Amino acid sequence: MKPSVLVAEDESALVTLLRYNLEREGYRVLEAMDGEEALLVAAEEKPDLVLLDWMLPQLSGIEVCRRLRSRQETRNVPIIMLTARGEETDRIRGLDTGADDYLTKPFSMMELLARLRAVMRRIRPSLAEDVVTVGDIEMDRAAHRVRRAGKEVHLGPTEYKLLDHLIQHPGRVFSREQLLDAVWGSDVYVEARTVDVHVGRLRKALNIDGTADPIRTVRSAGYALEDTPAAAA
């Protein structure tokens, strides 16, 4: 699945430029025009990375960064600060607040994309790897194969996309609506209960004899792929 990037920036021309280049690189782009909206979108969408402007309306980028780091669900999300403030003291302040990198405007789009890829690889290596392993489940994206406990698992295309999204975020609970957006896309209408059907198929395919159920169902919340599932009964 495409990793998502939240662009928290109030300069519309720059947002348009960033969206164009990020989508061309294969990212899904979320937007926020002020600090309050950035916190709301981050809480709802749980982006894989945040590009955060220092001088946002409503709440400053520094305050948004501080609040993201204080929340359990977003404390590990990579953050790259974008700012016209180039003084060393400002860079130090941004990094000390919790930013993973810092880029001074005006910046080269090639440099931004390179730094974004570097942060992704460092903090979320599963987004850059062809082979991802969670527990005894191994997904080889290059070969389009899945194995569990050394045995090949045959999945339909939707179940494969579903696993690909869950395996990037082991232990994180996703609602039906979040999984619909991630797997089917926000521009396609699909009943929320459809997710249950495909999770059931994925669970059945992964539950090889003698293995524990790796998918945790959280009532009224959603589903999560467990790194260390409970032992089979």
Instruction: Report the alpha-carbon angle 69-76-49, nearest 5.
Output: 100
Count the neighbouring beta carbons within 10 Å of the beta carbon of residue 149.
14
Question: In sequence order, which residues have a C-beta less than 8 Å from that of residue 135 and are 6 or more positions away?
Answer: 170, 214, 226, 227, 228, 229
pLDDT surpassing 50 at residue 3: yes
Question: In sequence order, which residues have a C-beta less than 8 Å from that of residue 34 and are 6 or more positions away?
Answer: 10, 56, 57, 58, 59
Per cent of the chain over pLDDT 70 is: 88
pTM above 0.85, yes or no: no
Q: Residue 82: which of 154, 164, 14 has the closest Cα?
A: 14
Give 233's pLDDT tier (boundaries 50, 70, 90).
very low
What confidence score (pLDDT) does residue 11 get?
A: 92
User: What SS3 state is found at 79?
Assistant: strand
Give 90's pLDDT tier (boundaries 50, 70, 90).
low
Averaged pLDDT for residues 197-219: 90
Structure tokens at 107: 């910046």
Give 104's pLDDT tier (boundaries 50, 70, 90).
confident
What confidence score (pLDDT) does residue 152 get?
A: 93
40-49, 91-100, 132-141: the lowest-pLDDT one: 91-100
Give CA separation, 194 vs 156, 157, 171, 201, in Å. Answer: 14, 14, 22, 11
What is the domain partition of the chain in residue ranges?
4-123, 131-225
What confidence score (pLDDT) does residue 153 get?
A: 94
Distance CA 30, CA 47 (A): 8
User: What SS3 state is found at 96?
Assistant: helix
What confidence score (pLDDT) does residue 132 get?
A: 81
CATH of domain 131-225: 1.10.10.10
What confidence score (pLDDT) does residue 25 get?
A: 81
Summarize pLDDT for 79-88 with one digit per residue, the tens. Answer: 998 887 666 6
Count the neighbouring beta carbons within 10 Å of the beta carbon of residue 197.
11
Instruction: Please indicate whether residue 24 or residue 223 has the higher confidence score (pLDDT).
Output: 223
Summarize pLDDT for 118-162 with one digit per residue, the tens. Answer: 887 776 655 556 678 888 899 887 788 899 988 999 999 999 989
pLDDT surpassing 70 at residue 230: no
Domain 4-123 coded CATH 3.40.190.10: no
Q: Residue 37: which of 13, 9, 2 has the closest Cα?
A: 9
What confidence score (pLDDT) does residue 127 get?
A: 56
